Amino acid sequence: MSDRILIRNGLVVTPAGTFRGDVMTHGEEILAIGEALPMSQVDEVIDADGCLVLPGLVDPHVHIQLDTGIYQTKDDWGVGTRAAACGGVTTVLDFATQFPGQTLEQALENRWNEVDGKAAVDYGLHVMVTDLPAGEEDELRTLVRLGAPEAKVYTTYRPNYYMDDDRLLRVFKAAAKHGILVMVHAENDAMVSAATERLIAAGKTSLRYHAQARPMLAEQEAAHRVAFLAAEAGARAYVVHNSTGGTTEILAEARRKGINVISETCPQYLILDDSLYEGEHPEWVILQPPLRPRREGAKLWSLLASGEISTVGTDHCDYTLEQKVSTMKFPSTPGGIPGLETSLPLMYTYGVAAGRISLERLVEVMSTNPARIFGMFPRKGTIIPGSDADLVVYDPRHKGQISVGRLHTVGGYTPYEGMGVQGTIRVVLSRGKPVCRDGEFVGDAGRGRYLERSLSGS
Ligand SMILES: [Zn+2]
């Protein structure tokens, strides 16, 4: 393996500022950053003239090889992390589901076995807590011991994931006691169920009705309740995939009162909108929460720029087109879209190049903040000597289009098909080793490591 790599003459984004210069790696770490670093004793020189040099992205929310108990994606950890590597995502945080009858530790062991020998980039796991019998709340402590200090819960999806308010409060209390961050998928289950049943009763089950089944108010009400219950328990909550500006505003208001809540959004809620349900390929955009009216995307961009949204995750989910069109009815279509490989070019194009966010803000929300929030900083999420040499060389001069033919996913589609993008990923390093060059995967399955994380002090 290349022991020393010198990335020369790029625009390097560091915590101390963005400057034109070099980054030198040694083994798995960053050795030095500066101007005109010596080229002697270097195994490879990467010319980054005209390119950006960014810390590898940390995607806090992905679902590789997902089994919901009802649907299964067709990818595996080799496929998913190859897509990550080629998208400049050098750390993925995925989920370990606690299936009925399993302890939290068994849920993690299950997932480690699935990943074993396949991951091409580093990964961490959040545990989907689906069962917490009264009196056994202290089992959550296991998550801290195993380096996966988050509990993911859902306020909707009966019967497999749904957690009622009493359980939610008990999870929050136990999480506060053990220093665990609670990640919440927030949608009011009664509102979603009733809206869905009304549509079914009216015979409106085609894919175009998907968004009507999951009203914005359902998300906003649940976010409001989550903040209230988290405050009551003294817990920290991270509300995943805010899809409406109102959701983020409710959480921002809670933060102003001292409640510890964090907002995440996804590229799809910033860039796509609900007019696509009327278009030619509504199956490409069946996901929960659904896409919203265009004005919500505009609000989310400004909340991302102003700091009210802390992270951008993809909620990557690699169902195949065949699965997406199997019934052409929204209640029985698996929800989720692929995103790992397209998030950086899309966020650069529609965020940075469009003047909505700065380059530094992009790095914060897609790398630094997720690394901090999930207990990996400064090992991940930044370019400083001693950090892991997870680096992306991005050429912003290139003009291209998103096309499924270039992706490494198995789904056979992308909801961004044909969209123009500014820039392309030239090279990605994961702990000092190239894993992608000009769209081609050059990494090794099995080299990715499990990241044992700790939130103390974060
Ligand atoms: Zn998700």
Q: What is the pLDDT of residue 264?
A: 99
Q: What does the block give as tokens for 253?
A: 């208001």
In angstroms, what is the span from residue 72 Cα to ligand 1's centroid? 14
In angstroms, what is the span from residue 19 Cα to ligand 1's centroid? 35
In angstroms, what is the span from residue 204 Cα to ligand 1's centroid? 26
In angstroms, what is the span from residue 47 Cα to ligand 1's centroid? 37
Q: What is the pLDDT of residue 159?
A: 77
In angstroms, what is the span from residue 22 Cα to ligand 1's centroid? 37
Q: Could you tell me the residue ranges of all domains in the chain?
A: 4-54+383-441, 57-373
Q: Do the Cβ atoms of 434 and 440 come closer than 8 Å?
A: no
Q: Do the Cβ atoms of 129 and 159 come closer than 8 Å?
A: no
Q: What does the block give as tokens for 161?
A: 């994931």
Q: What is the pLDDT of residue 15?
A: 87
DSSP string spanning 100-121?
TT--HHHHHHHHHHHHTTT-SS
Q: What is the pLDDT of residue 160?
A: 80
- How confident is the prediction along the chain (458 residues), in pLDDT tens digits per residue? 459 999 999 999 998 899 999 999 999 999 999 999 999 899 999 999 999 999 999 999 999 999 998 999 999 999 999 999 999 999 999 999 999 999 999 999 999 999 999 999 999 999 999 988 889 999 999 999 999 999 999 999 887 889 999 999 999 999 999 999 999 999 999 999 999 999 999 999 999 999 999 999 999 999 999 999 999 999 999 999 999 999 999 999 999 999 999 999 999 999 999 999 999 999 999 999 999 999 999 999 999 999 999 999 999 999 999 999 999 999 999 999 999 999 999 999 999 999 999 999 999 999 999 999 999 999 999 999 999 999 999 999 999 999 999 999 999 999 999 999 999 999 999 999 999 999 999 999 999 999 999 998 55
Asked whether this chain's domains 4-54+383-441 and 57-373 adopt the same fold, the reply is no
Q: What is the pLDDT of residue 2?
A: 54
Yes or no: domain 57-373 corresponds to CATH 3.20.20.140:
yes
In angstroms, what is the span from residue 62 Cα to ligand 1's centroid? 6
Q: What is the pLDDT of residue 211?
A: 98
In angstroms, what is the span from residue 260 Cα to ligand 1's centroid? 21
Q: Do the Cβ atoms of 342 and 272 come closer than 8 Å?
A: no
In angstroms, what is the span from residue 310 Cα to ligand 1's centroid? 17
In angstroms, what is the span from residue 136 Cα to ligand 1's centroid? 26
Q: Do the Cβ atoms of 179 and 456 come closer than 8 Å?
A: yes
Q: What is the pLDDT of residue 458?
A: 53
Q: What is the pLDDT of residue 1?
A: 45
Is the bond into 378 cis (omega within 30 degrees of 0)?
yes
Cα–Cα distance, 11 to 33 (Å, whole number): 11
Q: What is the pLDDT of residue 247?
A: 98
The CATH number of 4-54+383-441 is 2.30.40.10
Q: What is the pLDDT of residue 457?
A: 59
In angstroms, what is the span from residue 317 Cα to ligand 1's centroid? 8
pLDDT (tens digit, 9 = 90+) per residue, 338-396? 999 999 999 999 999 999 999 999 999 999 999 999 999 999 999 999 999 999 999 99
In angstroms, what is the span from residue 1 Cα to ligand 1's centroid? 35
In angstroms, what is the span from residue 61 Cα to ligand 1's centroid? 6
Q: What is the pLDDT of residue 351?
A: 98
In angstroms, what is the span from residue 162 Cα to ligand 1's centroid? 14
Q: What does the block give as tokens for 417?
A: 């098909």
Cα–Cα distance, 170 to 188 (Å, whole number): 18
Q: What does the block give as tokens for 41?
A: 């004793």
In angstroms, what is the span from residue 253 Cα to ligand 1's centroid? 24
Q: How far apart are the first and last CA of the chain?
A: 34
Q: What does the block give as tokens for 375?
A: 């207990």
pLDDT (tens digit, 9 = 90+) per residue, 59-95? 999 999 999 989 999 999 999 999 999 999 999 999 9
Cα–Cα distance, 69 to 354 (Å, whole number): 40
Q: What is the pLDDT of residue 268?
A: 98
In angstroms, what is the span from residue 95 Cα to ligand 1's centroid? 9
Q: What is the pLDDT of residue 131?
A: 85
